[in-house]
Structure 1
Amino acid sequence: MSSQTLQQISTLPQLTKFVTGHDEYGRSEIHESSAFTWSSHDDNKMGFSVAYTTSSSPAVLTNNADLEAHKQTMTKGLGLVNPKGSVVRCVDFAPGYSCSMHRTKSLDYGVVLEGEIEMVLDSGVSKLHRGDIAVQRATNHQWRNTSSTNWARMMFVLLDCETDMKEDLGEGVGGLLPSGN
């Protein structure tokens, strides 16, 4: 089951999102900044925070159309992937936690920000360290926090893609919607 919270469930530092824009003179500025809003999953063993979404590629920034599209996407609900667009999501993994084996219909860039993570594929396991990047190309995969004491954190950028592979959430995460792409 998923529930929105204002703070993350992990012991890792809170993150802040900064969204830029332009003032009436065309100068760059901070449009908004806010602490990440988290949802908890799998009995508080995994936390999600969606930093931003786009609903088209290329993204339409004219007249702040992307800001309104992001608001609408977050209001209607979001699976792991935003069809025809992108998602930037931070994920915190509890010590010793493994998510279920799953596949998204997307091209994903996953960056390890804190800790160490095992990337489990059908063909075997690879250990990723802080700063490492996984490029997931609609493959079946699982994430496993190898520490028995420390939380791990990854940042993912998911881009909708064209592929013959279908989304498969496996056992799934309670409350997570299918992406529909």
Structure 2
Amino acid sequence: AFCFSVERGFATLCLVPVREIGPRQLNLARVIALHCSPDVSNPHPRVPLSSTSSFPISFLRGLVLLCFSLEPRSLFSIAKRNRILTAEEFWYIYTTDFSCIAAMSTPEPLPNPQRVITDTDPETGISHFNTTLDESLAVKQDLGGSLFRLGYITDKTPNTLDGTDLTNYIEYLETASVPPVTLPDGRGMMWYIDTPPGKGSPAHRTVSFDVVIQVAGEIEVTLESGEKRIQKPGDMLIQRATTHTWRNLSKDKWARMVGVMYSSNPVVLKNGTVLGPSGL
């Protein structure tokens, strides 16, 4: 819970964990605590009070409003001297202006997806799960704030399932260089792409045929013509080597796309112009 104690003209913000508050709320508390103090190393920031020795009520309002907007059933309260300010008070019911406080919250990225790989015993023919890799799929690239996870690659078409494909995939995961978004010769790559709130990509084109499925949040896709589409969970986008941007319009939620991308021949215009990769 949050509480303020007053001492010698200062208010001290204390963070008191209680059973009802989860990690997200405690992280939010730390963000607010650091925001209140010029000394980020101080775990209990001391904030100067006004000349009347009362903490600015606008800040208290915003703090309580923010807490209740995230988790209505959690027990958040603020102590100002001997008085407890809670959501039942008159000012809370009729106050909605807390955008300046809400802007301090930082939404947590989506968790790592589970990557499960199957295999066949070469002697018995019995199917089983391959445990060579950790099933938690970690981030491979950070492109402008968007997080890319390499789900898998194919080594050729048709794919060889004698272990060569898995070996090649592991090499791409462990390489020090950043792997390309697509591979040549018709090979495929499967990417998880997580985009933070309010962020997106620059205008870009890859020489590839992509099947992109929205699995969390919503993404706005914009083409050079100015046309736009909103992709919602379950929606599919067939991206055919076109210049485009994507953007997460949400203010507080991450969005996740899963794209299976195969290299393709470039688009050639009637005048002979070849449209190669651009923007990334």
Bin for the TM-score computed over the shorter chain:
0.7 to 0.9
Q: 2:117 aligns with which of 3, 14, 19?
A: 19
Contact 2:109 2:196 in 1 (8 A): no
**Structure 2 unaligned blocks of 5 or more:** 1-106, 268-274
Aligned position for 1:92? 194
The alignment of Structure 1 onto Structure 2 pairs a total of residues equal to 159
Secondary structure of the 1:16 match is: coil
Structure with the higher fraction of residues in strand conformation = 1
Aligned position for 1:104? 206
Distance (whole Å) between structure 1 residues aligned to residue 241 and residue 114 of structure 2: 29
Change (3 A) 1:10 1:143: farther
Structure with the higher fraction of residues in helix conformation = 2
1:73-111 residue CA offsets vs partner (Å, 9 max, x unmatched): 342641110112110000100101021110011000111
Contact 1:17 1:35 in 2 (8 A): yes
Secondary structure of the 1:89 match is: strand
Which stretch shows the higher mean deviation, 158-167 or 90-99? 158-167
Contact 1:10 1:47 in 2 (8 A): no
Q: Which structure: larger Rg?
A: 2
Matched, 1:60 2:170: no
Q: How far has the Cα of 1:64 moved from its partner?
A: 1.1
**Structure 1 unaligned blocks of 5 or more:** 1-8, 173-181
TM-score norm. by structure 2 comes to 0.54
Which of structures 1 and 2 has the larger relative contact order (alpha carbons within 8 angstroms, sep 6+)?
1
Letter in 2 for 1:81: T
Secondary structure of the 1:80 match is: coil
Identity %: 30
Letter in 2 for 1:143: W
Distance (whole Å) between structure 1 residues aligned to residue 183 and residue 108 of structure 2: 25
Q: How far has the Cα of 1:37 moved from its partner?
A: 1.3
Distance (whole Å) between structure 2 residues aligned to residue 113 and residue 81 of structure 1: 21
Aligned position for 2:215? 113
Aligned position for 1:79? 180
Distance (whole Å) between structure 1 residues aligned to residue 264 and residue 201 of structure 2: 23
Distance (whole Å) between structure 2 residues aligned to residue 129 and residue 119 of structure 1: 11
Query: After TM superposition, which residue ranges in structure 1, 4 or more long, deviate above 3 angstroms?
Result: none
**What is the RMSD of the two structures over their aligned residues, measured on CA atoms?**
1.7
